[in-house]
Amino acid sequence: MSSTGFHGKVALVQGGSRGIGAAIVKRLVEGGAAVAFTYVSSVNKAQALQDSLNASGGKVLAIHADSADAQAICDAVDSTVKAFGRLDILVNNAGVLAVGPLEDFSLEDFDRTLAINVRSVFVATQAAAKYMTEGGRIINIGSTNAERMPFAGGGPYAMSKSALVGLTKGLARDLGPRGITINTVQPGPVDTDMNPATGDFAESLIPLMAIGRYGKADEIASFVAYLAGPESGYITGASLTADGGFSA
């Protein structure tokens, strides 16, 4: 287990039990950070991730918290600080994807999309900022669909990810004077269990990418790690795309 890069830092990852979130947790832990992460339904995966990283010498805490529940988010922030003594890095990775024809799309799905993809970012940032000092880092996981939505039925999802662009810009103004940066990473299609790089859906998306393949979760995690580190201190309020040329 490496002790460089994030040694002495504490991170909280919203939605960290699988996929991109789990890759981010691993990358930060490998860099020396103590990491708490939240999960909702993936109990076994969350426990396995926590136990495996702790067995390798890491400091990891899995916290059950629904990102649709504002109080649960605030409690997760408090629990992270209670467990590890501070909070330096917040990664807002929790998200949902609801897709459907306009005439059939329910307001319940619309509201839940906003609650998890947008409101949870604001709530977590507001709660975490109380503990952060100069050098704090906040990274939101958005989507290339903020820039390009190539199929029908994804309007509310695209809207939620576009909202992160404006939210990130605005919050950068609030946090900048305190020496805290906030940025959004906008991945393209990434090979995870929720969106595997095989099947009919992938076959329709791959031709839209300049490099002709899905991304890897580790590739997104490396980008997040850079933004979480000391060398990215002059970047804030930005929405940075890593999508294999999907939006080119």
Listed by start position, the domains of the chain span 10-242
Q: What is the pLDDT of residues 141-153, one digit of tens each?
A: 999 999 999 999 9
> Can you give the pLDDT at residue 199?
79
Measured CA to CA, the distance from residue 134 to residue 113 in angstroms comes to 32
For 69, other C-beta atoms within 10 Å of its C-beta total: 16
214 classed as catalytic: no
pLDDT at residue 201, rounded to an integer: 86
The CA-atom distances, in angstroms, between 100 and each of 117, 155, 157, 191 are 17, 9, 10, 22
**Alpha helices, H only, 142-233:** 155-175, 200-205, 217-228
**Which of these CATH numbers, 3.40.50.720, 3.40.50.2000, 3.30.420.40, 3.30.930.10, describes 10-242?**
3.40.50.720
Phi-psi region of 226 (alpha: psi -120 to 50; beta: other; left: phi over 0): alpha
With a pLDDT cut of 90, the percent of the chain lying above it is 94
For the chain, give percent helix, strand, coil, nearest 5: 45, 15, 35
Helix (H) or strand (E) holding 110: helix 107-114
Question: What value does the mean pLDDT of the chain take?
Answer: 95
Average pLDDT score over residue span 20-28: 98
Q: What's the pLDDT score for residue 3?
A: 40
Q: Distance from CA of residue 31 to its chain's centroid? A: 18
How confident is the model at residue 1, as a pLDDT? 38
For the whole prediction, is pTM greater than 0.85?
Answer: yes
pLDDT in tens, 74-133: 999 999 999 999 999 999 999 999 999 999 999 999 999 999 999 999 999 999 999 999
* Rounded-to-10 torsion of CA 61, 65, 68, 71: -100
Model pLDDT for residues 77-94, shown as the tens digit of each residue: 999 999 999 999 999 999
Of 157, 214, 226, 234, catalytic? 157
The whole-number pLDDT of residue 86 equals 98
Distances (CA, A) of 146 to 97, 111, 142, 166, 241: 13, 18, 8, 11, 10
Question: Would you state the pLDDT for residue 194?
Answer: 81
- pLDDT tens, position by position, 182-213: 999 999 999 998 889 997 889 999 999 999 99
Nearest residue to 26 (alpha-carbon basis) of 224, 180, 230, 244: 224
Strand order in the sheet with 10-14: 59-64, 34-39, 10-14, 89-92, 137-141, 181-187, 239-242
pLDDT at 4: 56
pLDDT at position 132 is 98
